[in-house]
Structure 1
Amino acid sequence: MNRTLIALALGIITALGLTGCGVQQQAVTHDEIMSQLPDKTKASLERSNDPKEIDKEFRKRFEATQKIAHNIVQQDGDTITVKHQLGTTVMPKEHKRIVVIRAEDPMIALDEPFIAASYNDKSYLYKDLVARNVQHISINDETKSINYEQVQALKPDLIIMRDSYGQGAYDALSKIAPTITVNVNKEEVALLSIAYALGVPEKGEMRLKAYYDHAKQIRIALADRMNSETTAVLRILNKEIRLYSYLRSDMTSFMAELLNIKPADMVLESELNASNHAISLERLPDLDAGYLVVTAGYGSTSSNNSNIAMERLTNMEKDDLWKNLTAVKEKHVLLVDSSLWLAHGIIAKELAMDDLYNAWGK
């Protein structure tokens, strides 16, 4: 089968949703996968873990992040203007009563005060938020609905909102106080943008450099211990098994971009498919990863029952298809907290990096 037909077959299988329905998909060879990958992905597989090379790489990444953040946040004299996804906001001269809508991670990373946010005891930030006496506001994440009356009663002078809540939420909140939105999925840009908007650029840049230093140390340790073995990330859900891509997933791209962890061929194959990463149990033997990260369940704000996903994982672990995986036989399986790994923010990513280091970097 030539490469064009292979790509077409993969697309048809994916479009029909057959990868998660027990249908055996024909394995694609490493060379066939590599021939179809974008140049950016290929280049990401050839980076060095030499400390000096990492420094160069992260310096370029820092400068690129700075440039993006400066395009978002512009200063003219003492006036700071934020041009964000949902509008343009002139920052108030003082912001002592900030309400945060799902952008708590960068605010805590910057050690900037805020008076209210929405959170629960499943959050990895719960102890920090309680220690800071942050008041709780009601948000329904399933319907993206915010208790505006509660926000208004707090008399905020600035609101910082995750942009995924949309134009309606932004317009409503802007009637209460000046509101800026951030794309928290882009953790590094979100951190610097908020720092620039709040008038604390040095604090933001120092914190971002500390983030890169943290990643560098863990990257070197993992490279030394894992000996270029490949890795894959699986998420067990109530009705499907999901294999995460190498670069395109917000949940796992830090493993590729910052830690330079090498992906299994089946993970690279998923880079060719932009729509569906569900796989069947029958395809598990094709997952040749030397190391495996597994999460079962949903994020801290989801109403889905994670216990069902955990029960499914328990049953999978009894299956011979699972037991015969290389990573399982080598005891290189790391079970991680879905509420943390599905979160966005540099604190979340640092904690995820720590999970990898504690399992395989020591």
Structure 2
Amino acid sequence: MDDLFSHLIGNQRIKSNLTNALHKGAFGQSLCFQGKEGIGKSLFARAFAKGIFSSDIPGFLARHPTVAYTHPDLVELKPAGKIGQHPIESVRRFCEEVYIAPYEAQHKVFIIHDAERMLPTSANALLKTLEEPPAGVIIILLTESLQSLLPTIRSRLQTLYFESVDKEEISVFLQQSHGLSREEADKISLESFGSVGRALNLHRGERDLSEDLIRFLMKGRKSYVELKQFINELDGRHALKRKEAEEALLKALCETYREGDLSAKQRQEMEKQAEGMSAVESLRESKSILLSLLFFFRDLHVIYHGGQESFLAFRENACKLFDLATAKEPIPIEKVEAAVAESIIALERSTPLAACLENLFLKLKLVRF
């Protein structure tokens, strides 16, 4: 039981809290794991569920040694559809399944991924279930933004706050588990912004479109025509990446069935799930692109105020950043932070990335006419 979370990185306090709760058999029925994307919330939730099942079923841990296990008493709900939301129909089915007795264990564990992607109607459908969950049912909501949930939902949850993973822990993990040199691991950990998921993507060489934005910003103030051309190209690459991700997800989901066993209805459900998952991932990358602009200006301020090069998020561009920072005083970081925050809110309200980027550049007067 004490080794349940040993393979996970960071958040030692939460590991201790969950382990103690399992030992005592005392844990809430409506939980919320809140923290940024890529820090392991879903892995913690699955490990916690494994701990619950291991108390109910003799030999469970021996039968399921890895976190990639399936069990009929573990149910996961993920966003679906083009905009990556939790449809009301899915939430209603979810709520009905809560009242079905466990198949093997004494408990059933339900994990709702990206809970902030619930529309008010879907959230309200879940509310009664959270108020009075049946005995033996544990519901875990995973979210990046607790404030995005309805107040009536938040008030019924016992929330655990996950922190960004320390860059030193990420560096050590990359060295020990993936054979990277100290220098390579340190560079990736610095660019990961405390997200193990982002660090692994960088290690695999998956291209982050935020790099394109940084290169564009490094060129200094551009004309409106040049900005439009860049945004259209970036948006096109972003759309293609989303389509490829959706196709790959659908293929992976279908491979869990033997050939010929997948019905038309099941395939349709999987298509919706793949579409929803790729939509959520697309939104996350869009936010990452916008946040990279904030980190770019943060680096300019670090240099302008005489900070050390080791403090830079984009150290590989230190020379060019120095030229830009010393040419004139950077835009106040508070102004950049407010503009980026507004753009992220617009993204979450389904405003296209291209429109958000254009508005952001115009608001900060980063173009010339």
> Shared fold (TM-score greater than 0.5)?
no
More strand by share: 1
TM-score (norm 2): 0.30
Relative to the length of structure 1, the TM-score reads: 0.31
